[in-house]
Amino acid sequence: MGGSTSSIMIWGYTAKHGLKILFLGILCAVSVYVFVFLIGKGLYVPAVMPLIGSGLISYIFLSEKRYPIRWLIPGLLFLAVMVVYPIGYTFVSSFTNVGTGHMLSKDQAIDHFLERSYTPDNAVAYNYTAFADTSGDLALILEGADQMILYVDGRATDIARSDPRLVDEDSDGTPDRFGNYSRLTIPETVQRLSVIEDYRIQYKDTIIGLESLTKFRTRSSQYSYDPDSETMTDLRTGMVYTAWEGIFTAPDGEEIYPGYKVGVGPRNFVKLLTNPQISGPFAKVFLWTFIYATLTVLLNFALGLFTAILLNDPFLRFRTVYRVLAVVPYALPAFITILVWRGMLNVHFGVINDIFLALFGSGARIPWLQNAMWAKISVLLVNLWLGYPYMMLISLGALQSIPGSLYEAARVDGATWWQRFWTITLPLLLMPLAPLLIGAFAFNFNNFTLIYLLTEGGPAIAGASTPAGATDILISYTYNLAFAGERGNQLGLAAAVSVLIFLIVATISAVNFRMTGTLEELSKNV
Amino acid sequence: MLTGLFFVANASEPGKLLIWADDTRAPIMLNVAKQFMQVYGVEVEVQEIESGETRGQLATAGPAGEGPDILIGAHDWLGELILNGLIEPIVLEPATIAEFNPVAIDAFKWGNLLYGVPYATENVALIRNTDLVPEVPATFEELLTVAKGLTDLEAGEYGFLIQQPDPYHTFALYTAGGGYVFGKDADGVLSPCDIGLDNAGSIAGAVILDQMVKDGIEIAGAGYGEVTGAFNAGSLGMMIGGPWTLSDIKANSINYAVSAIPTIDGNAPGVFVGVQGFMISSFSENKVLANLFIKDFLISTDVMLGLYIEGDRPPAYLPALAFLGGNADIQGFAAAAATAVPMPKIAEMASVWDAWIGALELIVNQEQDPATAMQEAADEIRALLGCE
């Protein structure tokens, strides 16, 4: 069809069409390549996604009726890949046992056992020589203590040293050619090593495998697997291990690892709600997360609005300078500033306590990060410093949009500054800002960076006997659960907590939309 | 789509080796890679990956066929990596094994199989500023007296600090009296339900720490950065630290000496010993080649010395260690390691840290008495591991 770039119509197609089809062709070709590549790795769900994506894009771009959607489709596809897919994946994971000891798929775990081999007592070691013919096919000559084996085309046969096909041109004792195969040098052999490594040479009733660069050796498989009964048998001991909840288990309870991922139904959620080790702190952590996120939004908004009103005063000199300075905390990367704050709040080495000591004497050493109450205050203060510039910026913008005539009218009516603030400024500000405030709430609800870098969830609580600290919020607590409990990673359980957090945040968002709708109704009546 | 394409270039593929090493080891690996290329014509790619992220990345990249052939890591990862089926046993000739520090070889053994080739051991020791503390204190009690004399908190001068809240650096305090993390069963295998953090020895150690805080020697808020910072500024007499602290100490021209931690109440304290080594991924497509690279190229005095120079950690390879024989730092760390305990490598160790850190935090913050804090931590760990 029209790959032409000329501006002349060819068979009814213009150059623009040609480019479009070329682009779509490349897109489809790439997605087919990725599909084949991912299928080869056994990743079926991710493999289908680019196909669906490119198919959808092609349909929309080629169909005149779907014209408007073409501007939305890139965003929608990215939404699917970056938001919907991870949420779905987390949701699915929350119903599995994925975690330390259960990281592989069942097939991978079975392969792992089937690859285990050991050297039997009567093992024979073979030196070997590799040959290749002009088309690159390999032949191997294995030399044991008292036999020579030829391995070619997947079959092993005895071969005599005097065989006429073996030619030793330089008479060094090693044949240089075998029929039309010629010997490989060591670097050439090394190049083919990963192929040779996979050979399992069946010779009489033994299996011979590559052991090192220069040697083959008799090997015996350690396990055999029976797919019908789902049992793994250790051929050396005769012990039979049955697949049971993601692990091969012997009748006496002995487990062999690795285990594999398997669905466990709602067990993670049940554990979350019934295990006192987890559910005990869950309620407390949930409460603090709520208090922390609410207070953060209120404090940050209050300070942000206050500075915005100050900086909005047309009679203030150097307004721009102050505005720039006030934005600094927002402009610096939080990763760095939080760590700086952590250093400044250090009880013995921090500059803040140094100042307090200089001002108020030696009794004024405040345990900023050591005491539960002070640590909570520290979290709120640092977050205030980090967050108020954002609130100031959005308030500044919103303040400009309030018509000055309203204030004039209020002044004429004799309203005080307070009255004007409460009855004009705040209601008119909240209308556009409410969604942003709720967004800030949702953001701080999951503000892992702040908690993890500033307090790591600490300090520990005396007598708590659980892994949650005084400033842990749900997301940092989830992190602890996921990476620091039992045998390390309890990803399934952590996914279950994530699903709960998602539901909470989704509820907040739903409320957000409803409130926004309500406020719009309100604004129409103003 | 893009990530799929990106990873094609960074996966274990036949006929090419991929090594994961952190930024200090990567240049040395690259050097060896060039030699390997010259001899065998096989390309070796070295990918920089932060040490702390290696395990997590391997767990996702390995099974997806995107992991390395060879990785560098610590022996206490073994439990987790083996449970996850991510690493492969390595067979060394007895003669080669004899060339290594036996402690290091043991550390990389799981059952009777070897899962890594060690290159360095690391443990903490007493590091002192020889201008402030010219003589090694003979006992821990004497050490505390010296420390008390040097400490002036208002002036920012400190006698002896152990970074807090940190189980690893405070471990010596518990072991002197018989404290331990996991006990051993009759076969010498660590048993996850025998937790010794609340036995008499561990509590005695926690009491010492508590007393150090009450005496104004140890202070809250003294993390790694604060302790090493004070030492490098010359305002700290003694600290417990590892080989990784030395390069900054040297850079700041502080006169220092490394020695064993003095006896506590007449008993020699044990520190944790960690071993760094090379491991082979189960998902490698080139296991024989990876073995060849490790055995014929990495096990050499030159490479092992190169790794020593980058990290100051004493080599586990005895010919390299012998080459450095007269080095006072290495002797100091070796003296501290004489009674060392290998860092437990069972995956259950992951449950220990948080509870233990919490207990130390409560003691150092003077929020709870040391016996109760240790008891509650041990109970918390037992509950986490389902041991009651």
- The answer to whether residues B147 and B159 touch, using CB atoms and an 8 Å cutoff, is yes
How much is the average pLDDT of A198-210? Answer: 88
Q: Show me where the domains of chain A are located.
A: 106-112+224-256, 117-221, 275-525
**B208-261 per-position pLDDT tens digit:** 999 999 999 999 889 999 999 999 999 999 999 999 999 999 999 999 999 999
Structure tokens at A87: 């949420």
Average pLDDT (A207-230) is 90
Exposure of A106 by Cβ count < 10 A (0-12 exposed, 13-18 middle, 19+ buried)?
middle
User: Angle, to 10 degrees, between the axis of helix A85-93 and the axis of helix A491-525?
Assistant: 130
Averaged pLDDT for residues A303-321: 88
A residues 450-489 near B, CB within 8 Å?
Answer: 458-460, 462-467, 469, 480, 483-489
Query: End-to-end distance of chain A based on CA atoms, in angstroms?
Result: 60
Q: How confident is the model at residue A387 (pLDDT cuts 50, 70, 90)?
A: very high
Flag whether pLDDT at A12 surpasses 80: no
Q: What are the φ and ψ backbone dihedral angles of A46, each rounded to 5 degrees?
A: -60, -30
Closest CA to B147 of B210, B246, B240, B218: B218
Positive or negative torsion for Cα B129, B131, B134, B138: negative
**Do the chains contact at A190 and B225, CB–CB below 8 Å?**
no
Collect all residues with Cβ–Cβ distance below 8 Å to A155 and sequence separation of at least 6.
Answer: none
Q: How far is A92 from chain B (nearest CA, A)?
A: 17
What CA–CA distance (Å, rounded) separates A490 from A498? 12
Overall pTM surpassing 0.80 (yes/no): yes
A118 and chain B in contact, CB less than 8 A? no
Looking at every residue in chain A, the average pLDDT score rounds to 86
Is there a contact between A487 and B83 if contact means CB atoms under 8 Å apart?
yes
Structure token digits, residue A509:
């968002």
Percentage of chain A beyond pLDDT 90 is 32
Of the pLDDT bands very low, low, confident and very high (cuts 50, 70, 90), residue A313 is: confident
Tell which A residues from 63 to 102 touch B, by Cβ distance under 8 Å. Answer: 100-101
- Return the residue of B nearest to A78 by Cα: B1
Residue A187 with chain B: CB contacts under 8 Å: 39-42
Find the residue in A nearest to B6 (Cα): A34
Could you read off the pLDDT of A235-287 as tens digits, one per residue?
989 999 999 889 999 999 888 999 999 999 999 999 888 887 777 788 888 89
Residue B6 has pLDDT above 50, yes or no: no
| pLDDT score recorded for residue A481 | 79
**Band of pLDDT at residue A3, cut at 50, 70 and 90:** very low
CB contact under 8 A, A277 and B384: yes
- Percent of chain B at pLDDT > 70 equals 97
State yes or no: pLDDT of A143 exceeds 60.
Answer: yes
Residue A253 C-alpha, separation from nearest chain B C-alpha, in angstroms: 16
Which of 145-184 (B) contact A at CB < 8 A?
153-154
Q: A485, B384: Cβ pair inside 8 Å?
A: yes
Chain B residue whose CA is closest to A350: B221
Average pLDDT over residues A357-367: 82
pLDDT of residue A234: 93
| Residue A5 confidence class, pLDDT cut points 50, 70, 90 | very low
Cα separation, A431 vs B227, whole angstroms: 51
**Residue A466 DSSP SS3:** coil
Report whether pLDDT(A509) > 80. Answer: no
Q: Residue A525 — pLDDT band, cuts 50, 70, 90?
A: low
The pLDDT of residue A2:
41
Q: Which helix (H) or strand (E) holds A215?
A: strand A215-221
Q: Is residue A6 pLDDT above 50, yes or no?
A: no
Pick among 2.30.30, 1.20.120, 3.40.1000, 2.40.430: CATH of A117-221 = 2.40.430
Mean pLDDT score of chain B: 90
Query: CA-nearest residue of chain A to B367?
Result: A462
CATH 3.40.190.10, chain B: domain bounds: 2-122+273-342, 125-270+346-384
Of B1, B350, B383, which has the smallest distance from its Cβ to A465's Cβ?
B383
Structure tokens at B142: 């004497």
Which residue bears the tokens 């080649």? B289
pLDDT digits (tens, 9 = 90+) for B282-330: 999 899 999 999 998 999 999 999 889 877 889 999 999 999 888 899 9
Question: Which chain A positions have a beta carbon within 8 Å of B233's beta carbon?
Answer: none
Residue B216 is predicted with a pLDDT of 92
**Residue B37 forms contact with A (CB below 8 Å):** no
Residues B28-46 have pLDDT tens digits of 889 889 988 988 888 999 9
Superfamily designation of domain B2-122+273-342: Periplasmic binding protein-like II (3.40.190.10)
Nearest-CB residue to B361 (from A100, A196, A459): A459
**Phi, psi at A124, each rounded to 5°:** -115, 135
Report residue B109 as tokens: 């053994």
Cα-based torsion angle of the residue sequence B175, B178, B183, B189 in order, rounded to the nearest 10 degrees? 70
CATH topology of domain A275-525: MetI-like fold (1.10.3720)
Determine which of A27, A190, A360 to mutate to test the interface with B (most B C-beta atoms within 10 Å).
Answer: A190
Which residues of B are less than 8 Å from A481 in CB distance?
A: none
Residue A225 near residue A114 (C-beta atoms within 8 A): yes
pLDDT on residue B7: 43
Lowest mean pLDDT among A437-441, A450-454, A520-524, B89-93: A520-524
Q: 247-306 in B: which are within 8 Å (CB) of A?
A: 282, 285-289, 291-292
Looking at domain B125-270+346-384, its CATH superfamily turns out to be Periplasmic binding protein-like II (3.40.190.10)
User: Residues with Cβ < 8 Å from A115, sequence gap 6 or more?
Assistant: B282
Q: Using a CB–CB cutoff of 8 Å, tell me whether A48 touches chain B.
A: no
- Using 50, 70 and 90 to split pLDDT, how confident is the model at A379? very high
Say what the pLDDT of residue A76 is. Answer: 86
Confidence (pLDDT) at B197? 95
Cα–Cα distance measured from residue A128 to residue A140, given in angstroms and rounded to the nearest whole number? 7
Q: Is the pLDDT of residue A230 over 70?
A: yes
CA angle A329, A469, A455 (to 5 degrees): 25
> What does each C-alpha distance from B262 to B115, B136, B138, B231, B298 come to in angstroms?
34, 8, 6, 19, 36
